[in-house]
Amino acid sequence: MQPLQYSCNNRKSEMLHIPLLGVALVLFLSLASPAISCKEEEKTSLFEFLNGLSQASGLTSSWQNDTNCCLWEGVICNVDGTVIDISLAAMGLEGHISPSLGNLNGLLKLNLSGNLLSGELPPKLLLSRSLTVLDVSFNKLSGEFHELQSTPDSAMKVMNISSNFLTGYFPSTTLEGMKNLAALNMSNNSFAGEIPSTVCVDKPFFVVLDLSYNQFIGRIPPELGNCSGLRVLKAGQNQLNGTLPAEIFNVTSLEHLSFPNNHLQGTLDPERVGKLRNLAILDLGWNGLNGKIPNSIGQLKRLEELHLDNNNMSGELPPALSSCSNLTTIILKDNNFQGDLKRVNFSTLSNLKFLDCRSNKFTGTIPESLYSCSNLIALRLSFNNLHGQFSSGINNLKSLRFLALAHNNFTNITNTLQILSKSRSLALVLIGGNFKHETMPDYDEFHGFENLMCLAINECPLYGKLPNWLAKLKNLRGLLLDNNKLSGPIPAWINSLNLLFYLDISNNNLTGDIPTALMEMPTLEAAHSDPIILKFPIYLTPFLQYRTTSGFPKMLNLGNNKFTGVIPPEIGQLQALLTLNLSFNNLHGEIPQSVGNLTNLQVLDLSYNNLTGAIPSALERLHFLSKFNISRNDLEGPVPTGGQFSTFPDSSFFGNPKLCSATLMRHCNSVDAAPVSVVSTEEYTDKVIFAMAFGMFFGVGVLYDQMVLFRYIYFV
């Protein structure tokens, strides 16, 4: 067939243009001014729904009794005046869903997602014979999901009840008659019991099943292998056990197979894995799988994401992984993989964006082929047995923003920093635990790291001083140089890092007074500034973890050094501080009253110094203080009882023989007891290890279209 040729002259096209516009205008007016009116009984049902809402400010102006309900916001009628579609997503609705909506016998689609609706889901909606799409996700619906007698001729195709507070067992009987069902999302509720074996019975159109984030137990039913058209199968974050049934690998239509955070065991069978030729996402992380990654993984040519993290898998990486040229994400952290990474030819993985092999037993050097992955955004190889020096080839990774190579056996920190500083894309660099007993380099001239936000060169231990080139990192938010052997004073340029709000230089040999320049850091002074949102959460090893993109806690950790002098009174200016640690130094004098201005403070550790005087009563204003330690000083007087002080253990005050309280060995008499305050904390031990997360990568997603997908990659 030949394509149409538009070779008419200008006059002909002008003649055709006017009539066509006229026809279009008539059609538009006829659609915009419908002559149809909704049925009174359906208007009544809609009003009953409205009356069941306690908050419906977005509807009251439109849903008026003296108007045509076919013109109401979110309501669509057909030519007969029958309501066929109600779409009220994210309208801020509160209250209950009225069963009256079940009286709309022509209703095809109902979308109430993203509101604050509570109470039970009306059974009449589930028994509707007309409804094809039901979406009540992201609400506050609760109660047990009761089994209902199925409707043989149900038209239901899509049912999304995810992200509520629903309980009960899988509604097998209710779903039995939904023979047209194509997608079922029950994720992020509190459903329990076993997954029934009849999920796919008489459902030839079934393509999506999402049971993630519930409390399902037992084994994965082999009968899921009968869902011959299934494309998405997700049941992560449950309590499933046993092995992956062999029958599931017969569902060759699968594109997304996800069972993370369960108790699955067994191995990946080489003969079965290769059958899933359409698979794009395989997520079996956080289970108890063992064995190797089979070489047949190379047959999955459409594979985009591979998540096998936090298992007990071992062996070398199969060279066939190089054949998965569509891979964007490889997460293998926290296993027992070993061998040389050079077995994989990364130059064929041009789409790779995220590679995480943290905490394994890989040896050798970083493969040069990895530097061909020009789209790589995040690379983490921390806690392995890699060695050698950094190659300048890493600068070929023009998109690389997050680099974590900590706790390996890399050498030559001078060369490393010269190479990495040339990157204009790097935002986070974590290379601590390497360069054993080398010297921190200082350069007469230094250019680079223009966009660096976090730098960690901790636990090496390095000799030398705090280098002057750090003063040029104007975008720096976090600096970790703890657990080295750095000496000398804190330089005065520290206050030139205007964005710095996380500083850990603990466990070094730093000397001198605490400079007043440190009290002039703008980001630590702004107690009520907008929160700084970063794309990586933080992990306070090993227990405190922040898994949302909420930003770092504002912290100043100078503990376990050789600082002398007094605590500067100007410290009260740092009103945004959450953690202040000055423990294990040689500080003397009194605790400044200005510490009471740090009203956001959660952790305060002044232990193991030579502080004297009373505990300032101003500290009773620190209402968020949860960890406090002033032990091993020479403080005196009564321990305050107001504010948070009644919550701190006696160990917070030990080693101050002149302190008194009702619980300490020295009791105060009524004359001595005056209102004073104290600070709490735990013994100084924790170190901070950073993490990072991406919105659409390294984590757990909840549904294809409705759920928000969070993928996390945390760095050490």
Over residues 352-369, the pLDDT tens digits come to 999 999 999 999 999 999
Residue 668 pLDDT > 90 = no
Cα–Cα dist 407/386, whole Å: 9
Region 79-103: mean pLDDT is 96
Q: Walk across the sheet containing 53-55 and list its strands.
A: 53-55, 94-96, 116-119, 140-144, 165-169, 190-194, 215-219, 239-242, 263-264
Residue 708 pLDDT > 60 = no
Per residue in 248-302, pLDDT tens? 999 999 999 999 999 999 999 999 999 999 999 999 999 999 999 999 999 999 9
Q: Is residue 340 part of a domain?
A: no
pLDDT computed for residue 700 by the predictor: 31
Cα–Cα dist 78/708, whole Å: 32
Q: Is residue 547 part of a domain?
A: yes
User: Which segments of 56-113 does DSSP mark as H helices, in order?
Assistant: 57-60
pLDDT computed for residue 551 by the predictor: 57
pLDDT computed for residue 484 by the predictor: 98
Of 304 and 149, the structure prediction assigns the larger pLDDT to 304
Q: Is residue 79 part of a domain?
A: yes
Nearest to 335 by CA among 407, 384, 378: 384
Q: Is residue 550 part of a domain?
A: yes
Give, as one character, the DSSP assignment of residue 25: H
Region 188-194: mean pLDDT is 96
Residue 691 pLDDT > 50 = no
| Last residue in a domain, options 638, 660, 682 | 660
C-alpha angle 127-132-136 in degrees, rounded to nearest 5: 75
> CATH code at 120?
3.80.10.10
Q: Is residue 2 part of a domain?
A: no
Nearest to 171 by CA among 153, 163, 155, 151: 151
Region 95-100: mean pLDDT is 96
Q: Is residue 390 part of a domain?
A: no
Report the domain count for the chain.
2
Omega prior to 461 cis, within 30 of 0: yes
Per residue in 499-556, pLDDT tens? 999 999 999 999 999 999 999 998 888 755 444 444 444 444 444 444 433 456 899 9
Nearest to 619 by CA among 588, 651, 589, 641: 641
Q: Is residue 231 part of a domain?
A: no
Which residues constitute the domain of residue 562? 518-660
| Last residue in a domain, options 637, 660, 683 | 660
Residue 384 pLDDT > 80 = yes
Read out DSSP for 313-349? EEEPPPGGGGG-TT--EEE--SSEEEEEGGGS-GGG-
Q: Is residue 679 part of a domain?
A: no
Helices vs. strands in the chain: H and E counts, helices first: 8, 50
| Last residue in a domain, options 106, 141, 176 | 141
In this prediction the pTM is: 0.86
Nearest to 335 by CA among 286, 379, 273, 378: 286
Neighbours of 123 (CB within 10 A): 16
Per residue in 480-495, pLDDT tens? 999 999 999 999 999 9
Cα–Cα dist 15/607, whole Å: 91
pLDDT computed for residue 348 by the predictor: 97
